[in-house]
Amino acid sequence: MKRSILYGLILLLASACTNNYTSHIRDLSFQNDSLRVITMLINEKANTIAVLFGNELALKNKLAQKPRENNELYKLVTWRQQPNTFWYGSKINGALLCIETVKISSKEGQVVPIYKLDCFDSPFSADLPIDRTQRISFIMNQQLVVLP
């Protein structure tokens, strides 16, 4: 009896030492470096999730509701949604679809937004509106997520 308990404990200890756990679901497709989250958008029909990131200056000006300044940087990153295998019924970001960047610069005393679009999924790029001013306006008019 003592031997079977001892063998059982040794077997239990040996099986507890194995590492079968994966630490992440997938590799990160977007490194936000020093950018902070401004807001998040979920489109159930298109099955996408978008997060608007901004640098410290952009976040500070959004928080204080100040006018645009030179060197503000906004990035709207859009992913396709995928089911979360660790939480039934929830969805997380999957494949990276596109990154829309708006950088505020100044030319001759005027504040000028510069728009750049990087698409990584060709069918998705055909669905995006081509009007740059409309996209800049959409990105710049997003409200800051409520902070506790």
Q: Is the dihedral of CA 58, 60, 62, 68 positive or negative?
A: negative
Distance CA 69, CA 103 (A): 10
> What would the two tokens of residue 141 be?
């008019």
Mean pLDDT of 51-71: 88
pLDDT confidence of 127, banded at 50, 70, 90? low
Percent of the chain scored above 90 by pLDDT? 24
DSSP 8-class letter at 108:
T
129 in Cβ contact with 136 (< 8 Å): no
pLDDT digits over 7-58, tens only?
666 766 666 665 555 545 555 567 777 899 999 999 889 888 999 999 999 9
As a whole number, the mean pLDDT across the chain is 80
Q: Write out the DSSP string of 35-104.
A: -EEEEEEEETTTTEEEEEEE-HHHHHHHHHTPPP-TT-EEEEEEEEEEE-TTSTT-EEEEEEEEEEEEEE
